[in-house]
Amino acid sequence: MFFSGTDSEKKGKEVRTNLYYFAENQMLDCNQYIIKDPTTDELALFDAGNSISLKGLFKGMKKLNLNPSNITKVFLTHEHVDHVLGLYPLMKLRKENPFEIFAYGETAKILTEGDESRIIPGNIGISPNMFGVKIIPLKVTDLINTKEINISSEYKFEIHYTPGHSLGSISYYDSNKKILIPGDLVFTGGSFGRYDFPGGSLNILINSIKYVNDLDVDYLLPGHMGISSQGNQQIALSYKMIQSISFF
Ligand SMILES: [Zn+2]
């Protein structure tokens, strides 16, 4: 099986107090982040991974004494397969005790409609069956009119619309703690998101990177690859790189 073995533990670490990072597994997975509310023990999960990796996330969480049953909210950065498929097995597990799902605009619409063709973009040669997942319509809260969300007494994120990688892409930004969760907009090491999927655009991606480049960011917590505590440096590097390719 092509996708077997990817339920291995997602290695987690506490990036700062009550904020945890779980590194992506191989094969079309994504980084995930968890914020724990210290007063209620409730957990907010950022992005859902590819579904096979859900077991791996649970393994990683247990090592850090985080109980998967305490996930009460899932915040999505965008609508792509490697970020959302994990919602479906998590829903099944939590039938009796459902969690809330938050997404923005197109992402909320696509998930509400269960539009498989837009969750798995283009011809990347995969189907939800490969992940043992059936895509069904979900109940999703649209963040389109939300400026800011309180995750806990410690963390509060502004919602910034940052398209270019996809139509439903947003960045979550905590201006006090200087934390940016940009999904697949910018990565560390000068990388940035693909713009060749449906709804993607190089020019729009450049504008969105320019936009986050103006924010004050220490912690850059992207959807893939590593994280950084020197966010502004990393974003500036990606901005420089993407401008250089746009000349051709
Ligand atoms: Zn994506």
Tens-level pLDDT at each residue, the chain (248 residues): 344 456 799 999 999 999 999 999 987 899 999 999 999 999 999 999 999 999 999 999 999 999 999 999 999 999 999 999 999 999 999 999 999 999 999 999 999 999 888 888 766 777 777 888 889 999 999 999 999 999 999 999 999 999 999 999 999 999 999 999 999 999 999 999 999 998 999 999 999 999 999 999 999 999 999 999 999 999 999 999 999 987 65
Give how many domains the chain has, as a whole number: 2
Tell me how far the alpha carbon of residue 120 lies from the centroid of ligand 1, in angstroms. 9
Same structural domain, 165 and 108: no
DSSP assignments along 87-128, one per residue: HHHHHHHTTTS--EEEE-HHHHHHHHHT-HHHHS-TT-S--G
Same structural domain, 68 and 122: yes
Tell me how far the alpha carbon of residue 76 lies from the centroid of ligand 1, in angstroms. 11
User: Residue 123's pLDDT is what?
Assistant: 66
What H or E segment, with its residue span, contains residue 46? strand 43-46
Tell me how far the alpha carbon of residue 119 lies from the centroid of ligand 1, in angstroms. 9
Torsion angle of the four alpha carbons 37, 41, 47, 52, in this order, in degrees rounded to the nearest 10: 160
Tell me how far the alpha carbon of residue 15 lies from the centroid of ligand 1, in angstroms. 23
Same structural domain, 167 and 129: no
Tell me how far the alpha carbon of residue 38 lies from the centroid of ligand 1, in angstroms. 31
User: Residue 26's pLDDT is what?
Assistant: 80
Same structural domain, 13 and 101: yes
For residues 68 and 108, is the Cβ–Cβ distance under 8 A? no
Check residue 25 and report its DSSP letter.
Answer: P
Which of 87, 112, 146 is the endpoint of a domain?
146
Same structural domain, 102 and 2: yes
pLDDT digit string, tens, across residues 164-179? 999 999 999 999 999 9
Same structural domain, 78 and 21: yes
Tell me how far the alpha carbon of residue 85 lies from the centroid of ligand 1, in angstroms. 12
Its domain, for residue 169, covers 161-248
Tell me how far the alpha carbon of residue 21 lies from the centroid of ligand 1, in angstroms. 18
Same structural domain, 52 and 3: yes
Tell me how far the alpha carbon of residue 133 lies from the centroid of ligand 1, in angstroms. 18
Tell me how far the alpha carbon of residue 175 lies from the centroid of ligand 1, in angstroms. 24
User: Residue 7's pLDDT is what?
Assistant: 76
Check residue 192 and report its DSSP letter.
Answer: B
Q: How many helices (H) and strands (E) does the chain have?
A: 7, 12
Same structural domain, 64 and 22: yes
User: Residue 2's pLDDT is what?
Assistant: 46
Same structural domain, 176 and 236: yes
> Is 184 inside any structural domain?
yes
Which residues, chain by chain, have CB under 5 Å from ion ligand 1?
Answer: 80, 184
Which of 103, 121, 146 is the endpoint of a domain?
146
Tell me how far the alpha carbon of residue 40 lies from the centroid of ligand 1, in angstroms. 32
Same structural domain, 67 and 186: no
Same structural domain, 132 and 185: no
Tell me how far the alpha carbon of residue 20 lies from the centroid of ligand 1, in angstroms. 21
Same structural domain, 25 and 54: yes
Tell me how far the alpha carbon of residue 204 lies from the centroid of ligand 1, in angstroms. 15
Tell me how far the alpha carbon of residue 80 lies from the centroid of ligand 1, in angstroms. 5
Which of 95, 113, 146 is the endpoint of a domain?
146
- Rounded Cα distance, 110 and 120, in Å: 11
Tell me how far the alpha carbon of residue 135 lies from the centroid of ligand 1, in angstroms. 17
Look at the pTM and tell me if it is higher than 0.75.
Answer: yes
Tell me how far the alpha carbon of residue 78 lies from the centroid of ligand 1, in angstroms. 7
